[in-house]
Amino acid sequence: MTLCEYKPGLEGIPATQSSISFVDGKQGILEYRGINIEALAKQSTFLETSYLLIWGSLPTRQELADFEYEIRYHRRLKYRIRDMMKCFPESGHPMDALQACAAALGLFYSRRALDDPAYIRAAVVRLLAKIPTMVAAFQLMRKGNDPVQPRDDLDYSANFLYMLNEREPDPLAAQIFDICLTLHAEHTINASTFSAMVTASTLTDPYAVIASAVGTLAGPLHGGANEEVIEMLEEIGSVENVESYLDRCLENKSKIMGFGHRVYKVKDPRATILQDLAEQLFDKFGGDYYYDIAVALEKAVADRLGHKGIYPNVDFYSGLVYRKMGIPTDLFTPVFAIARVSGWLAHWKEQLGENRIFRPTQIYTGSHDAPYIDIEKRHSAADAEILAGMIH
Ligand code: CMC
């Protein structure tokens, strides 16, 4: 076997073959199952898109109706999951709560039959149905309130906003939220999807697969960036401060949140759509003070870092959209997770179709034949550093 060059972050190394989605990072194109994201955002609902991602083709009217019906039926949570959530600290991050709840589903649905299409379908339905209920329930419980039961007369997105805000959402807000879910549903082999695939490749249960992906999505270099964008805009504070903020970032070599992407070297097509959705919301419900700062920052970053291909990614404008819907900042990443569950499940199903356990290699950089030191003669790492300093 020829030894490959080590690439930190596996940049450019194919880790799988997949027909689920495609990104052209130079032209800013994203397709799900060959269909352009703009067409799906305009014409398809999130559940229709999820069906496309997971089963490979757009559903017929009947297939979609059946899928929606099953999801409505499974939206409720076992009371024991709600009881478990009551024990979570209110100060805990909702992504940690979601990860724990997703993993807990494995306790209730422990039968594992990965070669049974009915089992796969039930797991898909259960996860798509229950994850939004978990996110909304934790939000209410941490305020000391009882969770709101799902409403069968509301569609997927309207029901989530209803459970979260305890009132029926404005139809435009619900429609835009649904588009946001479609935009976040899938994005080739990103960190959380890779995590899902590695976990899936061990043939564990789908709840463990989704729990591991949720944990990976939470980090600030991945899904967690959408929260940090709002914190950054708050820190900048005004359009006048944009250039000096950028100067400081470049001087300290710190990353500007919501910018840059391993694959896109132009503006992420999802950021363009999200910016437009934010403007639609501002037209109807009034503007957001931070929007002008965001636009000024986008321009300044393009001027200074455009030559490196650093442009807004999906996380840059999404927070401004969610804020307008009354979604708290620390729920932005759980909302991302609600959407990405469909992509993770699509990759889980694809992985099972041609599974081989992920077991890459490494380049060992340690020593060999090191002496075994008796416990009495050992120095702590800190002492060893002090000793080394005294010797120099
Ligand atoms: N601000 C300033 N410089 C940047 C940024 C940024 N946001 N992103 C990349 N760069 C520069 C980086 O300093 C480096 O420059 P040089 O070659 O001179 O050292 C070059 O671009 C390549 O950066 P990298 O960190 O090696 O790129 P990567 O592909 O390993 O990381 C990334 C991609 C998304 C983690 C990174 O762009 C980043 O940290 N962005 C900020 C966090 C963020 O917005 N994350 C959301 C990602 S998109 C949605 C998602 O995955 O959830």
- Which residue has the CA at smallest separation from atom 3 of ligand 1? 255
Give 243-252 contacts, CB < 8 A, sequence gap 24+.
243/300, 245/297, 246/297, 246/300, 246/301, 246/304, 250/304
pLDDT confidence band for 242 (50 / 70 / 90) = very high
pLDDT in tens, 138-183: 999 999 999 999 999 999 999 999 999 999 999 999 999 999 999 9
The tokens of 285 are what? 């419900």
The tokens of 251 are what? 């001087």
pLDDT in tens, 100-123: 999 999 999 988 899 999 999 999
Residue type (1 letter), 88: F
- Which residue has the CA at smallest separation from atom 14 of ligand 1? 308
Give 219-223 contacts, CB < 8 A, sequence gap 24+.
219/191, 220/257, 221/191, 222/190, 222/191, 222/192, 223/192, 223/315, 223/333, 223/336, 223/337, 223/340
Task: Provide the mean pLDDT of the chain.
Answer: 95
Nearest to 127 by CA among 188, 200, 176: 200
Distance 252 CA to ligand 1 centre (A): 14
Sheet holding 35-36, edge to edge: 21-24, 29-32, 35-36
Which CATH number does 226-322 carry? Answer: 1.10.230.10
Counting runs of H as helices and runs of E as strands, what totals does the chain give? 17, 3
**Which of 261, 268, 288, 347 is flagged as catalytic?**
261
Q: Is the pLDDT of residue 2 over 60?
A: no
pTM of the model: 0.94
Spatial distance between the Cα atoms of 344 and 292, rounded to a whole number of angstroms: 34
Average pLDDT (27-32) is: 97
**What is the pLDDT, as a whole number, of residue 111?**
85
Average pLDDT (201-225) is: 95
Nearest to 334 by CA among 126, 123, 122, 181: 181
Are the beta carbons of 147 and 83 closer than 8 angstroms? no
Average pLDDT (31-45) is: 98
**Which residues line the pocket of ligand 1, CB cutoff 6 A?**
9, 190, 221-223, 225, 255-262, 305, 308, 310, 313-315
- Which residue has the CA at smallest separation from atom 19 of ligand 1? 253
Q: Name residues whose C-beta falls within 8 Å of residue 222's C-beta, 6 or more positions apart in sequence.
A: 190, 191, 192, 216
Q: Is the pLDDT of residue 264 over 60?
A: yes
Pocket test for ligand 1, best of 255, 332, 344 (most atoms within 8 A of CB): 255
The tokens of 158 are what? 């309207």
Q: Is the pLDDT of residue 222 over 70?
A: yes
Q: Name residues whose C-beta falls within 8 Å of residue 73's C-beta, 6 or more positions apart in sequence.
A: 129
Q: Is 184 a catalytic residue?
A: no
Q: Is 368 a catalytic residue?
A: no
Average pLDDT (219-225) is: 89
* Percent of the chain clearing pLDDT 70 (strictly above): 97
Distance 254 CA to ligand 1 centre (A): 10
pLDDT in tens, 333-392: 999 999 999 999 999 999 999 999 999 999 999 999 999 999 999 988 777 777 666 665
Quick check: do 17-224+326-353 and 226-322 share a fold?
A: no
**Which three-class secondary structure state does DSSP give residue 35?**
strand
**For residue 306, how many other CB atoms are within 10 A of its CB?**
14
pLDDT in tens, 296-314: 999 999 999 999 999 999 9
| For the chain, domain boundaries | 17-224+326-353, 226-322
CATH topology of domain 17-224+326-353: Citrate Synthase; domain 1 (1.10.580)
Q: Name residues whose C-beta falls within 8 Å of residue 285's C-beta, 6 or more positions apart in sequence.
A: 170, 173, 324
Spatial distance between the Cα atoms of 331 and 193, rounded to a whole number of angstroms: 20
